[in-house]
Every structure is written in structure tokens, then in C-alpha cells.
Amino acid sequence: MESAERINRLLNYKTFLYQLRSLGFIKVFSDNIADALGISASLVRKDFGVFGIVGSQKGGYEIEKILEKIQEILGKDTVQKIIIVGVGRIGTALLEYKKGFDKEGIKIVAGFDIDPATIDPEAEIPVYSTSLLYDYIQDNHIQFAIVSVPESAAQQTLETLKAAHIYGILNFTTLRLKNTEETIISNINIEHELSRLIYFVKNR
């Protein structure tokens, strides 16, 4: 298994190469990618080597081939079903951001909330009562969840998800969580991102 940093770069390569392709480019050199992402060309080539992406000497790399390989590495052959727990401001934004996720093989299949005003089982992406969460996960073999409940409900929600044997959680609450044996937890903390940005600007 590769490092998180390497996978990050892989995702960045992908995004950049999609852009290049849409501009009509067919081939690309490690140098071009390096410049675009602000890293060294040898790191690009090393990454490609690790992932089994080969180019031709003098001719560079075929964009189409790289992209295929990246999708394969990321396991994008199968669609991943995801649920959202806490359909408030952030949760709704994500729920409605269909096209962006769909085209990456990520399908948000349902939301869960305690607020009766938010619950709507008939919507295109249904929003159910949280009381149904555990059973829904079991019945539909859900492996991934996004957590965007208020802080106060975070711990409880996490426990339920773990009990239901969810494999991966994207956590938007500030409750910082460690991976467990079974569940990988990825924390997004927007306040941290801002604070870090401010730090680097101030210490530039």
C-alpha cells in the first residue's frame, strides 16, 4: 500500500491530466506535470514507476494510458455507495453535489437526519430518520459514510457507524477520530485549513 502523500499526488496528476486532455493534448512529459504541480520531474517519474505507468523514451507518456492506469489503481471500476449522516448545511451541499461525485464513481445513495423537517424518503436521494441508519447499512452493504452532524451528536454517530461495521468515514466534525481496526476515518477540518493558511501567510 502506498503512502497517503503518493496517493494525493496521484489524484493531482489525474485532475491535471483531465484538464490537459480536455485541451486536446495526447502526450505529456514528466517535466510538464512537475511544473504544473510544483514538484520535481524525478518525483513524477518515481511515482509513475511505482504505479507501473510506463512512458517511451523521448516520447513521454500517453495521457490516456496514465489516466486508465490511475483509475485502475483507485479501483474506479466499481461504483462506491456512500451515505451522509447529518443533512444540514454541509450535508445538503454534498448531497446536491451529485454530478461532481457521480462522474468519479462515487454515488451518494441516502441521507440520515433526526430532524423530521429534513427527512424525505421520497426524494431523489432519500433522507431517512437516523433510527434506520444501522439497518440501512446492513441491508444495503454500505461501506462508506460522510458525517456532518453537529459536534454534540458526533460521538454517538461514530459509535453507531462503527457498530454497523462501516469501513470508511469522512468526518467533517471537529471531533478528531483515530482509525480503528476495521474503520478508516478521514477528517476534514476547515478551520484547521484556514488556520494553517493564515500561519503560512504570516510566516512567508
Ligand X SMILES: NC(=O)c1ccc[n+]([C@@H]2O[C@H](COP(=O)([O-])OP(=O)(O)OC[C@H]3O[C@@H](n4cnc5c(N)ncnc54)[C@H](O)[C@@H]3O)[C@@H](O)[C@H]2O)c1
For its own copies, the binding residues (CB under 8 A) are: 1, 4, 7-8, 11-12, 15-16, 36-38, 73-75, 80, 82, 89-90, 92-94, 96-97, 100-101, 104, 106, 143-144, 146, 167-170, 174, 176, 178-179, 184, 186, 188-204
Would you count residue 69 as binding DNA (CB under 7 A)? no
Spatial strand order in the sheet of 144-147: 127-129, 106-113, 80-85, 144-147, 168-171, 184-187
Interacting partner of 192 out of DNA, its own copies, ligand X, none (Cβ under 5 to 8 A depending on kind): its own copies
Which residues on neighbouring strands pair with residue 27, listed in sequence order?
Answer: 62
d(CA 9, CA 65) in angstroms, rounded, equals 17
Considering only residues 7 to 36 of the shown chain, the ones binding DNA according to CB under 7 A are 29-31
Angle at Cα 114 formed by Cα 112 and Cα 115, nearest 5°? 110
Minimum distance from residue 69 beta carbon to ligand X (Å)? 24
User: What is the pattern of x (binds DNA, CB under 7 A) and - over residues 162-191?
Assistant: ------------------------------
Whichever of 26 and 79 has its CB closer to DNA, that residue is 26
Minimum distance from residue 201 beta carbon to DNA (Å)? 19
Interacting partner of 129 out of its own copies, DNA, ligand X, none (Cβ under 5 to 8 A depending on kind): none
In three-state form (DSSP H/G/I as H, E/B as E, the rest C), the secondary structure along 94-139 is HHHCHHHHHCCCEEEEEEEECCCCCCECCCCCCEEEHHHHHHHHHH
d(CA 75, CA 70) in angstroms, rounded, equals 9
Minimum distance from residue 158 beta carbon to ligand X (Å)? 11
Neighbouring CB atoms inside 10 A of 143's CB total 15
Sequence-distant (6+) residues with CB within 8 A of 176 are 187, 189
Minimum distance from residue 70 beta carbon to DNA (Å)? 14
Interacting partner of 57 out of its own copies, ligand X, DNA, none (Cβ under 5 to 8 A depending on kind): DNA
Strands 80-85 and 106-113: parallel
Whichever of 54 and 163 has its CB closer to DNA, that residue is 54
* 17 contacts 63 by C-beta, under 8 angstroms: yes
Q: Please report, as ranges, the residues that interact with DNA according to CB under 7 A.
A: 3, 5-6, 29-31, 39-43, 45-46, 48-49, 53-61
